[in-house]
């Protein structure tokens, strides 16, 4: 009798384990995976096609109609987002996240925040968007973002 109860418990435990794995399964699109070899190869502000695809996918919920294609992006990290990092550094972290989790938008590994400017503001500021990496607190206002990137307040 004890063996039968043990087997039933084991089957139930395995069933829950498999169900949890199925629920956590997530597929990163193949064209994004294929692009991972082409991201972060330089430290220029302007994104290449693959970097744009990755960021468009990663920030699809936050970006609305904003498109990263050919945009200039600054990256900051740290608890308060005050340490500027290179595009290469950011994409190296993104690749490591993908290796660990199988997805590039895995929010448990780090928390990213996106802030983007309209065309006129981007011309004045010199970049189209700012990505904050591993920040506990998102920048609350445009003025706060401008202060962090060392630009004067526009309005």
In a domain, 19, yes or no: no
* Residue found by looking up tokens 């189209």 in the block: 128
In a domain, 79, yes or no: yes
Predicted pLDDT at 121: 87
In a domain, 84, yes or no: yes
Range of the domain at 62: 28-148
Q: How far apart are CA 117 and CA 119, in angstroms?
A: 6
CB count in 10 Å sphere of residue 103: 18
* Residue found by looking up tokens 């418990």 in the block: 9
In a domain, 50, yes or no: yes
In a domain, 104, yes or no: yes
Q: How many domains does the chain have?
A: 1
User: Who's near 136: CB < 8 A, 6+ residues apart?
Assistant: 79, 80, 111
Predicted pLDDT at 13: 61
In a domain, 69, yes or no: yes
Q: How far apart are CA 53 and CA 37, in angstroms?
A: 13
- pLDDT (tens, 9 = 90+) of the chain, 155 residues, equals 666 766 566 666 665 544 444 333 356 788 888 888 899 999 899 999 999 999 998 888 888 899 999 999 999 888 888 889 999 999 998 888 888 777 776 554 457 888 989 888 888 889 999 998 888 777 668 888 888 877 766 55
Q: How far apart are CA 98 and CA 28, in angstroms?
A: 9
| Spatial contact of 68 and 42, defined as CB atoms under 8 Å apart | no
* Residue found by looking up tokens 């956590």 in the block: 24
In a domain, 78, yes or no: yes
In a domain, 9, yes or no: no
């Amino acid at each position: 009798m004890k063996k039968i109860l043990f087997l039933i418990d084991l089957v139930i435990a395995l069933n829950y384990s498999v169900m949890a794995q199925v629920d956590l399964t997530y597929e990163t699109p193949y064209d994004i995976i294929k692009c991972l070899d082409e991201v972060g190869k330089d430290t220029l502000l302007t994104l290449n096609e693959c970097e744009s695809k990755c960021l468009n996918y990663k920030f699809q919920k936050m970006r609305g109609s904003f498109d990263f294609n050919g945009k200039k992006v600054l990256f900051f990290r740290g608890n308060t987002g005050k340490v500027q990092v290179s595009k290469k550094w950011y994409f190296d972290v993104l690749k490591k996240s993908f290796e660990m989790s199988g997805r590039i938008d895995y929010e448990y590994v780090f928390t990213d925040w996106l802030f983007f400017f309209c065309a006129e503001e981007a011309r004045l500021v010199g970049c189209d968007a700012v990505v904050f990496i591993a920040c506990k607190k998102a920048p609350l206002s445009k003025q706060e973002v401008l202060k962090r990137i060392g630009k004067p307040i526009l309005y």
